Amino acid sequence: MAIGMKLIKAQGEYDLTASRFFGDPVIPLRMEDEIEADEVFLAQIRLADIAHLDTENRLPHEGWLYFFIKAADGSAWTPKEAVVRYSKDEPRMIIDEFNLQSPIPEGLNCPFLVEFAPVDEEADGMKLLGEPYDWGYAETPPRLLLQYDPLATESSFLYEMDGVAYFFFGKDKEGFTDVVWHAEYS
């Protein structure tokens, strides 16, 4: 089973440590020095929110996953480097206006909260785990960590892409140090 994600535009006050896409990351204090100037904040996932849906224990069930992409060239359309960080530490520091200086200007500053639900392994849209949607290659698809479909959100981030962006697990089966970003254009 995969974990579907429905993004809902944040309204008013909300828990800043909640699972969400875009806006300002709330990170553990020790993580501040790890973040580089060319990184763009995509999402933070509170793993306790999805523990009951991860019945195969493919992810930790405590802590947070943080998704960033490196975008030093300023283009949303060229290959990116994925940066995924995992921490068990409680997030205590908000980085205000983090994406305002982003080299990718569109759709990154308005936070979207996430509702999770079980979905089919090969589902389209936004999801964690499962199989990449409509994988058109002969080889077995890489292990999917996150599938981002810009047409399944109200955000304008990558809205002109006409495809799907993936975060694939790397060779490190226990960690997130070599996650790969892949954009699949239709």
Encode pLDDT of 13-52 as tens digits.
999 999 999 999 999 999 989 988 888 899 999 999 999 9
What is the pLDDT, as a whole number, of residue 79?
54
Distances (CA, A) of 185 to 26, 85, 134, 158: 31, 26, 11, 11
The CATH number of the domain holding residue 160 is: 2.30.320.10
Domain count, the chain: 1
What is the pLDDT, as a whole number, of residue 186?
66
Return all residues near 15 (Cβ < 8 A) that are at least 6 apart. none
**In this model, does residue 5 exceed pLDDT 90?**
yes
Which range of residues forms the domain containing residue 160?
2-185
Distances (CA, A) of 77 to 11, 104, 115, 158, 172: 30, 10, 28, 8, 27
98-130 pLDDT per residue, tens: 877 776 666 788 899 999 999 999 999 999 999
Full-model pTM? 0.92
